[in-house]
Amino acid sequence: MSLYQQAFAQAKAGLALLARDGRWLAANTALGRLLGRDPAVLPGEAAHRSLFDRTTARRIDAALAAGESIAGIEAEAPAGQAWRLSLLPLQGVERTWLLQLDAEEDAESRALAARMLEALTYGISHDLRAPLRSIAGFAARLDEAGAVAETGRADLGRIRAAATRAERLANGLLDLLRAARQPLRRDAVDVSLLFEWVAGELQDADPRRAAHIEVTPELFAHGDEHWLKTLFGHVMDNAWKFSAIRDRVEIRVEGEASAGRLQLAVHDGGCGFDMRYADKLFVPFQRLHGSEQGGGNGLGLAIAQQIAQRHGGRIWGTSRIGEGSTFFIDLPAAAGPNGMSHDR
Partner 1 sequence: MTGSEILLIEDNPDDAELTRIAFNEAGIDRQLVVARDGAEALDYLFARGAHAGRQGAPLPAIVLLDLNLPKIDGREVLQAIRGDARTRSLPVVVLTTSDEPFDVEATYALGVNSYIRKPVEFDQFVGVVKQIGLYWLVLNQPRVAG
Residue ranges binding partner 1 (CB under 8 A): 121-122, 125-126, 129-134, 136-141, 163-164, 167, 182
Contact 262, 199 (CB under 8 A): no
Paired sense of beta strands 261-268 and 324-332, if any: antiparallel
Is residue 216 within 8 A of residue 253, CB to CB? The reply is yes
> Which residues neighbour 84 within 8 Å (Cβ) at sequence distance 6 or greater?
72, 73, 74, 75, 101, 102, 103, 104, 105
Nearest distance in Å: CB 134, partner 1: 4
Shortest distance (Å) from residue 122 CB to partner 1? 6
- Would you say 121 or 318 has its CB closer to partner 1? 121
Using the minimum distance from each CB to partner 1, give the nearer residue, 169 or 333: 169
Strand 24-27 and strand 14-19: the pairing is: antiparallel
Question: Would you say 143 or 218 has its CB closer to partner 1?
Answer: 143
Tell me how far, at minimum, the Cβ of 168 lies from partner 1, in Å: 9
Nearest residue (CB) to partner 1, 129 versus 246: 129
CB of 267 to partner 1, least distance (A): 33
Give least dist CB 124 to partner 1, A. 10
b (16+ CB within 10 A) / e for 106-131: eeeeeeeeeeeeeeebeebeeebbee
With contact defined as beta carbons under 8 Å apart, do 334 and 269 qualify?
no
Closer of 125 and 309 to partner 1 (Cβ): 125
Based on CB atoms, which residue is closest to partner 1, 60 or 139? 139
DSSP 290: -
- Conformation bin of residue 218: beta by default, left when phi > 0, alpha when psi is -120 to 50: left
Least distance from partner 1 to the Cβ atom of residue 129, Å = 5
